[in-house]
Amino acid sequence: MRRNRIAIALLTTGMLVAGLGGTAGASTAASAAGHRSPTGPSSPAKHVGGQGKSPFTFAVIGDIPYGAAQIAAFPGRIAQLNADPQVQLVNHLGDIKNGSSTCDDGYFSMIKTDFDLFRDPFVYTPGDNEWTDCHRQNNGAYDPLERLAAVRKDFFPVPGLTLGQHPIRVASQAAQGYVENVSYQRDDVAFAAVHIVGSNNSLAPWSGLGLTAPTAQQSAEVLGRTAADIELIRNTFAAARRDHDRAVVLFTQADMFDVTVPNPAYADYFAFTPIVAALAQESRNFSGPVYLFNGDSHVFNQDKPLAGGSSWLSFYGLATPVPNLTRVTVEGSTNVDEWLKVTVDKHSPAVLTWQRILYG
């Protein structure tokens, strides 16, 4: 229990400095982890993939494939996205397997082969099912940090380059050790894929290995990755303000505002606190709309989780509402039958519009 208290203290005090401290706070976190300033390589890549006359349209999927039926159907679903002439990029929000199947190398290789079927640039951010929760006995009782290393090796073979048959260059935190954290800009919108996972951002104890509290190595991983995540969030907003972008879009696996849980316990969410604080502060300081796309909770939802009157404000210790933040949860898990088609609409104050498209 002592280690658990230490982890809580570090995240809710020291990391909150990074989350709330504005530019100075970001610089402090970056310096501690060997990170660079917003003008460094983790700033969004400018205008990736060209600036065509047609509106920029991208697909968002997550929590797929789950189980044998979805694994068999996954190549066909990839083909459907490939066949849409408007889709120019695909984002996967993590969880490439269900939470009760093994995390073995063979499965990773099979999914990577499927990912290689995507014709468009393909941006993937890891989920908890493929590394964090692999300590579970029915997952193979793996060391989650070993599985995280395998995910990075298998799914991010070329730092700064997306997957897909027509990959594009993106800004990456590979130099800091977080090759999966990437950013880019397109059609006056700043985008970033931020590695934030469920299971309390990986601070849930590895019970499958007989543990009842986070290990020192586990806590260190979370602290380092959280600092990198906050830096990426701040850099993305800094680039958006510098370039007068109209919106900011973030992609992540974890649902930090899970409406499917009727009475969320802070003990299951505290590791998200500094990230939510940074997101709230940066969103308030940005003049345009901010969008957070996440998976994790499996049921489609769109809301404003930090608007006035939201219970999540007091839950995360925030005093000021964030009215310009919209959160979208994509549908996933065993019953998923749709994907999200999102378009940048230059003529709309909302900037983004989306459609829920059924798989054929």
Distance (Å) of CA 249 to CA 32, 254, 300, 343: 26, 15, 17, 12
* CA separation for the pair 79, 132 (Å, rounded): 30
The pLDDT value given to residue 53: 66
Lowest mean pLDDT among 48-57, 78-87, 96-105, 298-307: 48-57
pLDDT at 152 over 80: yes
> CB of 120 within 8 A of CB of 87?
yes
Distance (Å) of CA 312 to CA 60, 86, 154, 239: 25, 36, 36, 27
pLDDT at 147 over 50: yes
Distance (Å) of CA 166 to CA 39, 55, 138, 169: 27, 19, 36, 10
pLDDT at 268 over 80: yes
CATH architecture of the region 2-358: 4-Layer Sandwich (3.60)
In a 13 Å sphere around the CA of 304, the CA atoms on its Cβ side amount to: 12
The pLDDT value given to residue 249: 98
Residue 359: both structure tokens together:
């798989």
Q: What is the DSSP string of 84-95?
A: -TTEEEEEE-S-
The pLDDT value given to residue 37: 33
Q: Show the 3-state SS of 49-64.
A: CCCCCCCCEEEEECCC
Identify the residue whose tokens are 């970056």.
30
* CA separation for the pair 228, 31 (Å, rounded): 11
* CA separation for the pair 238, 190 (Å, rounded): 10
| pLDDT, tens only, 29-77 | 333 333 333 333 345 665 555 455 689 999 999 999 999 999 999 999 9
The pLDDT value given to residue 292: 98
Decide: helix, strand or coil at residue 339.
strand
Higher per-residue pLDDT: 94 or 16? 94
**Residue of 123, 134, 135, 132 whose CA lies nearest to 59:** 123
pLDDT at 264 over 90: yes
pLDDT at 6 over 70: no
pTM recorded for the entire structure? 0.90
Higher per-residue pLDDT: 147 or 38? 147
Bridging pattern class, strands 352-358 and 338-344: antiparallel
The pLDDT value given to residue 22: 43
Q: Is 109 exposed, middle or buried (0-12, 13-18, 19+ CB in 10 A)?
A: exposed
The pLDDT value given to residue 54: 83
As a whole-number percent, the residues of the chain with pLDDT over 70 amount to: 85
The pLDDT value given to residue 52: 55
The pLDDT value given to residue 334: 80
How high does pLDDT run on average in the chain? Answer: 89
* CA separation for the pair 212, 205 (Å, rounded): 5
pLDDT at 19 over 70: no
Amino acid letter, residue 101:
S
* CA separation for the pair 317, 92 (Å, rounded): 30
| pLDDT, tens only, 181-238 | 999 999 999 999 999 999 999 999 999 999 999 999 999 999 999 999 999 999 999 9
Residues 6+ away with beta carbon under 8 Å from 146 = none
The pLDDT value given to residue 56: 97
The pLDDT value given to residue 14: 44
Decide: helix, strand or coil at residue 258.
coil
The pLDDT value given to residue 3: 42
| pLDDT, tens only, 273-325 | 999 999 999 999 999 999 999 999 999 999 999 999 999 999 999 999 999 99
